[in-house]
Chain A
Amino acid sequence: TQLLEQSPQFLSIQEGENLTVYCNSSSVFSSLQWYRQEPGEGPVLLVTVVTGGEVKKLKRLTFQFGDARKDSSLHITAAQPGDTGLYLCAGGGSTLGRLYFGRGTQLTVWP
């Protein structure tokens, strides 16, 4: 059973387009993190959101945590080939020291 569902699973777009990927759950999380992972490497933390309704911006990336702290979205404006990678969301819950990961969205941005 996957606690966090990410959609779409695959996304292939042209450079300059905008995109949104989603991370949904029926469970409430105390925090939610987004990571990016490139082939052969470990995930790299992009952002942590902790408050329902919170919005964080990181250059062209905008992260939002749902009001009920069950879902999150990542919006990328004017995507670039360097944005290509696997985007993972991970939720922190009541079990200390443990994150629950979604399966990820594989983004490919073509020049």
Chain B
Amino acid sequence: NAGVMQNPRHLVRRRGQEARLRCSPMKGHSHVYWYRQLPEEGLKFMVYLQKENIIDESGMPKERFSAEFPKEGPSILRIQQVVRGDSAAYFCASSARQIGTNTGELFFGEGSRLTVL
């Protein structure tokens, strides 16, 4: 009964490189969310996806960041040309039903910690 799986757990990149973070939701969950956590800032919503569709990307920077959740395989959060300010913990969560409408509960992965040198 695996939970939400994220990898890598830790990723170090130099400025200008690309970072790819992967997330496999819990079995049976078709809703995936990405959040970013900075020290003392709390979790900030980035993007909400269902299989093959981006539902809400209003929390994601328009440049350099992209996300996908293909029909087969994990969800990917991609950060191009990383900068030091991208250093953070990135959490993926999944739910069986849509949250924010009293109907769904969110299950988080253990996070991917990105450090940009």
Does B108 have its Cβ within 8 Å of any Cβ on chain A? Answer: yes
Residue of B nearest to A92 (CB): B100
Contact A99 B41 (CB under 8 A): no
Residues on the A chain within 8 Å of B106, using CB: 33, 45, 90, 99
Does B22 have its Cβ within 8 Å of any Cβ on chain A? Answer: no
Contact B108 A102 (CB under 8 A): no
Give the B interface residue count (CB, 8 A).
29
Segment of B11-19, B42-50, B62-70, B73-81 in the binding face: B42-50
Q: A102 and B100 in contact (CB under 8 A), knowing A42-B4, A97-B31?
A: no
Whole-angstrom CA separation of A72 from B45 in the bound complex: 21
Residues on the A chain within 8 Å of B102, using CB: 30-31, 50, 92
Report how many A-B pairs have Cβ atoms within 8 Å. Answer: 79
Residues B86-117 near A (CB distance < 8 A):
91, 93, 98-102, 105-111
Within the complex, which residue of B42, B91, B98 is in contact with A42, where a contact is CB–CB below 8 Å?
B91
Whole-angstrom CA separation of A50 from B99 in the bound complex: 12
Whole-angstrom CA separation of A90 from B101 in the bound complex: 13
Contact A98 B56 (CB under 8 A): yes
Contact B100 A30 (CB under 8 A): yes
Residues on the A chain within 8 Å of B48, using CB: 96-98
Contact A96 B100 (CB under 8 A): yes
Whole-angstrom CA separation of A43 from B111 in the bound complex: 9
Residues on the B chain within 8 Å of A2, using CB: 42
Please list 16 pairs of residues, one from A and one from B, whose beta carbons are closer than 8 Å in the complex, sorted by A's number: A35-B108, A42-B109, A44-B108, A48-B105, A88-B42, A90-B106, A95-B56, A96-B56, A97-B98, A98-B56, A98-B59, A98-B99, A99-B100, A101-B43, A102-B42, A103-B42
Listed in ascending order, the chain B residues whose CB lies under 8 Å from chain A are: 4, 31, 33, 35, 40-45, 48, 55-56, 58-59, 91, 93, 98-102, 105-111
